[in-house]
């Protein structure tokens, strides 16, 4: 009787109820956590890789809505719970892989693993051409107030994230150019007839426009260096084109006979020595080749009609290869066979001498 009264005591009954409630809560919470953990780690609903942009300023609920709408997640409450436990989500453009779990999605956004875009600049483009390509790249933002000075941008591939300022890319290209130029200049040949790094860039830009073949660059550079040493004019076709277009790009047609002698500050058929500045933005390889040209006595080169060049030391031999090229262009049998030195080159370019292609 006493025990029965004790059990039915209101305080005991309330205590039992609270205890039972807490046990139920614990069981439900434990079950929920177990379910949530399982859901958090299991493969997600994406059927293929997908790029999603999470705009700046969105709250966690809005981010969840975007991911739901894009089919990245299917359990928003589990996503939000996991995100709050693990850390702070970062904004940006993300690529989520096929069947990415909620855990993968949250970790990707917490770590800020945003999509990296590539902006590739080909060697030999002018600054105006590079700026035009930057303006055409819609993943970048911001205006460009002025075209960078010719020859101050290093051609290569630059990574950027969605919305990066175009000016930031230009700054990176300028910094990369300064670094590479300093390295090339510090390792230049002791007898190089150039007095400043800027002159190296100018000559390298001509080499860049004359050939893109790695094993030809040092020989092309040697021809121009030898000409500078002997006070010969460089006679490079690309300098004519730059003087006519002002750095806007290709001429779009062959150079006309009267344009060879047309005076411009850049026409090296008319002026002595180097032009007043670069005619393009040379790459690292051309800068290095110009700083350390091949040890040759060659003064001439001309396209050999097979995709390469014939290099010669004297004008008489050069004329033979010019005649051979003309015959090939007319579809006639070539009058001479190229010597071994000429056969070694395989990249087309214009002729840096008065006899032209």
Q: Is residue 16 part of a domain?
A: no
Query: Which pLDDT score is estimated for 10?
Result: 66
Choosing from 129, 144, 179, the residue where a domain stops is: 179
212 and 135 together in one domain: no
Query: Which pLDDT score is estimated for 182?
Result: 98
243 and 285 together in one domain: yes
Closest CA relative to residue 126, chosen from 214, 243, 228, 255 = 243
Q: Is residue 135 part of a domain?
A: yes
Choosing from 155, 179, 203, the residue where a domain stops is: 179
234 and 256 together in one domain: yes
Choosing from 126, 152, 179, the residue where a domain stops is: 179
The count of domains in the chain is: 3
Domain range for residue 142? 117-179
Cβ atoms of 291 and 186 closer than 8 Å = no
205 and 337 together in one domain: yes
127 and 69 together in one domain: no
pLDDT under 70: residue ranges of the chain: 1-36, 336-357
Query: Which pLDDT score is estimated for 4?
Result: 55
Q: Is residue 67 part of a domain?
A: yes
71 and 195 together in one domain: no
**222-254 pLDDT per residue, tens:** 999 999 999 999 999 999 999 999 988 888 898
């Amino acid at each position: 009787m006493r025990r029965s009264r004790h059990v039915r005591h209101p305080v005991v009954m309330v205590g039992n109820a609270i205890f039972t409630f807490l046990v139920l809560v614990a069981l439900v919470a434990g079950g929920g956590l177990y379910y949530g953990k399982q859901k958090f780690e299991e493969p997600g609903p994406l059927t293929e890789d997908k790029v999603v942009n999470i705009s700046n300023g969105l709250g966690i609920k809005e981010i969840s809505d975007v991911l739901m709408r894009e089919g990245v997640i299917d359990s928003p409450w589990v996503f939000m719970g996991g995100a709050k436990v693990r850390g702070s989500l970062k904004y940006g453009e993300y690529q989520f892989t096929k069947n990415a779990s909620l855990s993968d999605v949250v970790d990707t956004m917490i770590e800020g693993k945003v999509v990296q875009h590539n902006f590739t600049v080909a060697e030999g483009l002018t600054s105006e051409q590079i700026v035009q390509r930057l303006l055409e790249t819609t993943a970048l933002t911001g205006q460009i107030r002025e075209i960078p000075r010719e020859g101050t941008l290093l051609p290569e591939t630059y990574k950027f994230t969605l919305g990066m300022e175009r000016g930031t890319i230009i700054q990176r290209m300028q910094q990369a150019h300064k670094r590479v130029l300093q390295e090339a200049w510090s390792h230049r040949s002791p007898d190089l007839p150039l007095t400043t790094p800027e002159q190296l860039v100018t000559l390298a830009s001509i080499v860049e426009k004359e050939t893109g073949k790695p094993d030809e660059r040092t020989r092309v550079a040697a021809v121009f260096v030898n000409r500078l040493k002997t006070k010969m004019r460089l006679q490079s076709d690309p300098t004519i084109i730059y003087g006519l277009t002002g750095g806007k790009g290709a001429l779009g047609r062959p150079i006309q006979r009267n344009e060879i002698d047309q005076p411009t500050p850049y026409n090296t058929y008319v002026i002595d020595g180097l032009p007043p500045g670069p005619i393009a933005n040379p790459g690292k390889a051309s800068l290095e080749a110009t700083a350390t040209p091949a040890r040759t006595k060659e003064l001439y080169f001309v396209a050999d009609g097979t995709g390469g060049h014939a290099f010669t030391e004297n004008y008489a031999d050069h004329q033979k290869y010019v005649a051979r090229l003309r015959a090939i262009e007319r579809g006639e049998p070539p009058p001479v066979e190229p010597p071994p030195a000429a056969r070694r080159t395989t990249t087309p370019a214009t002729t840096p001498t008065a006899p032209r292609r």
